[in-house]
Structure 1
Amino acid sequence: MNTATADVDQYIGGFPEEVQTLLEQIRALIRQAAPDATESISYGIPAYYLNGRQFIYFAGYKKHVSLYPVPRQHKAFEQVLMEYKGSKGTAQFPLNQPLPVDLITDVIKFRLQENQEKASQKKAAPKPQER
């Protein structure tokens, strides 16, 4: 696993080919769903920002790749995400199973929608009056 990387290419390049392939797939899904998103490294892993806030991260490990944050508590994802290990906001996809592209795409779209809603609320919120 990588310790400190400057960019996402370097991060992905630090993994074995099998992991690199999966990480590149996730990266492509994010770029396809959010072509205007800014890509960077945050907390040592790839992070994507839109409307001034992060909306999704991914990471590689020895036996799995992960996506953060995932809506485990949301009814639309509750059952399907139970199939994958992870904490409250994480899903781990084992290297020895096919990457669930449709699920990952749905999570990305969900997070994009949340991001857009938060950005819209921020714009619509009345500014406090100065004293």
Structure 2
Amino acid sequence: MGSVDDSLAGLPEPERGCLQHVGDIARAVVPEATEGMSYGMPALKYEGKPLLGVVMAAKHLSVFPFSPAVIDAVAARLEGYSLSKGTIRFTAEHPLPDDVVEDIVRLRRAEILNK
């Protein structure tokens, strides 16, 4: 267990399962990702840099790809979701599509490798 798994363990269902699914996808795309903290939140890290954060807020779930460019790259595929330059907000009832999560993680990994 690490910081991401520990933080998810205390969440209620179905939110825990939804965020765990996002984390599972990220780990499948980047199996060498490690757990840690970034910007005060539990996050998966790659090459020592934040790859993806997942958190639960009062009224939504959030994915933080730590990159406005990554959010911009998938924004057209996220109609109906709440986006800002740093986060994608969703609910367990309206989860993020798996292929979009995969692309978010791939794009962020590429950014980390190219910096």
Common fold, TM-score beyond 0.5? yes
Distance across 1 between alignment mates of 2:15 and 2:75: 26
Residue correspondence of structure 1 range 1-131 to structure 2 within 5 A: 7-69=3-65, 71-74=70-73, 77-118=74-115
Distance across 2 between alignment mates of 1:86 and 1:100: 15
2:26 maps to a residue whose letter is I
Cα distance, 1:88–1:82 mapped onto 2, change above 3 Å: farther
Give the gaps of 5 or more residues in structure 1: 1-5, 119-131
TM-score, structure 1 as length reference: 0.73
Report the alpha carbon displacement of residue 87 of structure 1 after superposing the two structures with TM.
1.5
1:51-96, Cα deviation, whole Å (9 max, x unpaired)? 222222111234322111352333xx23123431032121111222
Q: Which has the larger radius of gyration?
A: 1
Give the gaps of 5 or more residues in structure 2: none
Matched-pair identity in %: 32
Distance across 1 between alignment mates of 2:87 and 2:3: 22
Distance across 2 between alignment mates of 1:97 and 1:72: 18
TM-score, structure 2 as length reference: 0.82
Superposition CA RMSD, Å: 2.0
Distance across 2 between alignment mates of 1:7 and 1:26: 15
By relative contact order (CA 8 Å, sep 6+), the higher-ranking structure is: 2
